[in-house]
Chain A
């Protein structure tokens, strides 16, 4: 496929954002990023005037003076390409947002751009400080959604985001939207994940290569994630989590909003439970997302595992009941340690169970056929 294209004006807009980043940072503090998407609605001149009144003219002139060759050479040097709002491959969902970016700078497979449509992409976000439960669900959900041929969009952050990406890489394709240049792996410890997404998926940003992170760039990238996908699923979030901003932005655009329920006692799930109470779509598994996005039963998520013998079923039920260690399973079903170990390992190998670093088992989303 042909490389996507971007006109110089749109590229200069992202240059301008990078130049103004420190100034926007100064006025967009306060409640996390509450003002930055509004600012981003403004025209170049108004934005510069609003963010940096003293040097507005100077910055505008500076950006205007950058020759087109330099803009393109910078992209090439960072192994990136760009796609602007005038290109037909620009994700159509973004046209719905008044504050949409003018251009997307991408690194990775440009063919994925065409699949970033509201009926082909789902955004999975959640807290950085996620529990084992949340991370497990994010990973499973990411894998199943990607396997059901949806593009999984997330933000490469710690916790839920990274797990959703990892799961999606196992099942299909994923897109990471960054709050810095697409050539920068942020956070740094996700460098290898960033590299894998660059190779097998797509990393995009509205900022030019080399731009660092600012506080306002995170809510700003959230608006891109919210607008691009047909549905936003919040896996786990506390009441003041940044992922609720993404949820708000998605709801404002009329996108579907889903949330994964958590224990009512868990502070870390209070935000998602609130979303559910407020009418968000209940997400227990990938099928819930597919039904909400595409209509009930239009596409089926492949999520049944191989059939199980009666003994293994019993062990699985014991784990579902909350017997989480091998010892607890052995006692509950009166098995020897060896029998319980063998059954758990078999169920884990079949994908019905996952085991934490400290040896406690939890149920995956994989369903047993015929149940």
Chain B
């Protein structure tokens, strides 16, 4: 007899429909699987066989063929186990799934028949609702994330046996509560108060956060660059519900979504040995990289000069567009990656800085190092913060202002930007046309013009200063960019090499 079951396989960060067709007919006992399964899916045969037997069902000693349609799509991961087992039970007339229709399911089986969680259930639930499925059978651990999707009855399974019990009406599953979507950082998140002293860095962080500007911190090792970067998510404004859902979807697809849901904006700090594929996504089939994992959050590149050049180059287009396109033979994916870039570097190879008497670097080596700093990705970086080793007094001094207080100001400034530019947009994304509409006082315009000719700014640098000045004014609550704000923007701007 022939039976089918509806399930989904993960395709990047979204899910694609897969129909499992199982045919049981006469012949020598065999269990074969067709339809481009990967190794994990092929091994489903053994898991399915053991789970069926251990749940008290009978494994038919006949010729079994499982086909995964569409046949041209590569199926990956163990999430198809449950659907294969269910279709097999229907085909051997041990289960009547039609009573539940339209139904879909996803889950990995253990040998004892219990159902294990799988990644990407949120995406699967969204895809299921899109295909008109009314009931979705998922592992109990994934129930909370599936319940985030409205208009879908989510059935949380702990074992394969419960499928039959549910169909027969012998068991009514508990209704899962949707997981909380934390839009702002949890109370356990590191707080900016830990950053002692560093007035200028605090101020640069606030400006960068307020306008969504990318930031480069240059300073000796141990001065607090990494500490500052990891506190950045906590001063960014809370995410909109839609944004939090995007973050949850990506985390879920990567198997990184815990039971408590996303903990505010993501913060990712890949090591500098990362490959281009690891950073922007890759592999075959293509999966998300660090850039996508930091979507709506912060991507921190420590030791910027140590990253491979091609790795940084790969980040260029995604930074600009907010999307990465990964093409591989037979597959093409477009993944979201709208993140704030924060980078850190030492001022010279030895890290002490050229003017430190202890610096051991040859002048040429230091210059070469700094040239690398201005080459790599530099034209995508807006703000430069020079950091120095805090003094003993500063370290022993009182804690700095808390994240909550800074976030309040940042949120207010973002609010002004959204009123001007539209929802969800910030100053860093201003187009040249929008930039030309910014209002400058006469003094500010004079200062910008002076700096433009004296420092021989490029057109791009000119626009960058203007964007920064707009953010400084937004933080100050000014409609017009004044001289003071323009001066601050000029100081904060990243310097170009000649």
A interface residue numbers (CB < 8 A to B): 128-132, 134, 166, 265, 268, 324-328, 330-331, 336-338, 340-346, 348-349, 351, 355-360, 362
Contacts and interface: CB of A to CB of B under 8 A. Distances in A.
Nearest to B348: A358
A265 B357 CA distance: 9
B355 A338 contact: no
B200 A349 contact: no
B386 A337 contact: no
A355 B498 CA distance: 13
* Most central of A324, A340, A356, A359 by chain B CB within 10 Å: A359
B379 to A, nearest CB: 14
Interface stretch (B10-18, B90-98, B270-278, B484-492): B484-492
Contacts of B354: 131-132, 356, 360
22 contacts: A166-B498, A268-B363, A324-B355, A325-B386, A326-B386, A327-B199, A327-B201, A330-B199, A331-B199, A337-B199, A342-B484, A343-B487, A348-B491, A349-B447, A349-B455, A349-B490, A358-B345, A358-B348, A358-B370, A359-B218, A360-B354, A360-B355
Contact of B387 (A327, A338, A351): A327
Interface in B343-386: 345, 347-348, 353-355, 357, 362-364, 366, 370, 373-374, 384-386
A166 B490 CA distance: 23
A263 to B, nearest CB: 8
A95 B204 CA distance: 60
B200 A351 contact: no
Interface of B: 197-204, 218, 345, 347-348, 353-355, 357, 362-364, 366, 370, 373-374, 384-388, 391, 394, 447, 450-451, 454-455, 472, 484, 487-492, 495, 497-498
A328 B388 contact: yes
A151 to B, nearest CB: 23
A166 B498 CA distance: 10
B497 A357 contact: yes
B490 A348 contact: yes
Given A129-B362, A330-B199, A336-B203, A359 B355 contact: no
Question: Majority SS of interface residues in chain A?
Answer: helix
Contacts of A360: 347, 353-355, 386
A341 B491 contact: yes
Nearest to B489: A345
A341 B200 contact: yes
A282 to B, nearest CB: 23
Contacts of B384: 358-359
B202 A337 contact: yes
Contacts of A326: 200, 386, 491
A358 B386 contact: yes
A337 B200 CA distance: 4
A91 to B, nearest CB: 30
Contacts of B447: 346, 349
A346 B485 CA distance: 11
A324 B220 CA distance: 14
Contacts of A346: 447, 487
Among B472, B489, B498, chain A packs the most CB atoms within 10 A around the CB of B498
B466 to A, nearest CB: 14
Contacts of A337: 199-204
Nearest to B374: A357
B200 A129 contact: no
B350 to A, nearest CB: 13
A128 B367 CA distance: 12
Contacts of B386: 325-327, 358-360
Can you list the 7 inter-chain pairs with the closest CB atoms, starting with the nearest?
A: A359-B386, A337-B203, A341-B491, A345-B491, A327-B200, A342-B487, A345-B490
A342 B488 contact: yes
A128 to B, nearest CB: 8
Given A134-B363, A358-B384, A359-B386, 12 more contacts: A129-B364, A131-B363, A132-B366, A327-B199, A328-B388, A336-B199, A341-B487, A346-B447, A349-B487, A358-B373, A358-B386, A359-B218
Contacts of A268: 363
B197 A341 contact: no
Contact of B363 (A129, A166, A351): A129
Given A131-B363, A331-B199, A336-B203, A357 B487 contact: no
Contacts of B197: 327, 331
Contact of A357 (B362, B364, B373): B373
A349 B455 CA distance: 8
B385 to A, nearest CB: 7
A331 B490 contact: no
Contacts of B492: 341
A341 B197 CA distance: 16
Nearest to B449: A349
Contact of A356 (B198, B363, B484, B495): B495
Contact of A358 (B202, B353, B487): B353
A360 B201 CA distance: 14
B354 to A, nearest CB: 6
Nearest to A265: B357
A322 B178 CA distance: 58
Contacts of B218: 358-359
Contact of A338 (B451, B488, B497): B488
A129 B354 CA distance: 13
A348 B218 CA distance: 19
Contact of A340 (B200, B366, B498): B200
A328 B455 CA distance: 23
Contacts of A325: 200, 386-388
A348 to B, nearest CB: 7
Given A268-B363, A324-B355, A331-B394, A341 B373 contact: no
Nearest to A337: B203
Contacts of B451: 345, 348-349
Contacts of B201: 327, 337
A228 to B, nearest CB: 27
B491 A344 contact: yes
A343 B483 CA distance: 11
Contacts of A345: 451, 487-491
A327 B498 contact: no
A351 B454 contact: yes
Contacts of A356: 354, 370, 495
B349 to A, nearest CB: 12
A128 B370 CA distance: 17
A342 B491 contact: yes
Contacts of A330: 199-200
A45 B85 CA distance: 101
A362 B357 CA distance: 16
B426 to A, nearest CB: 20
B225 to A, nearest CB: 13
A350 to B, nearest CB: 8
A277 to B, nearest CB: 22
B201 to A, nearest CB: 7
A362 B363 CA distance: 16
A136 to B, nearest CB: 12
Contacts of B387: 325, 327
B490 A357 contact: no
Nearest to B490: A345
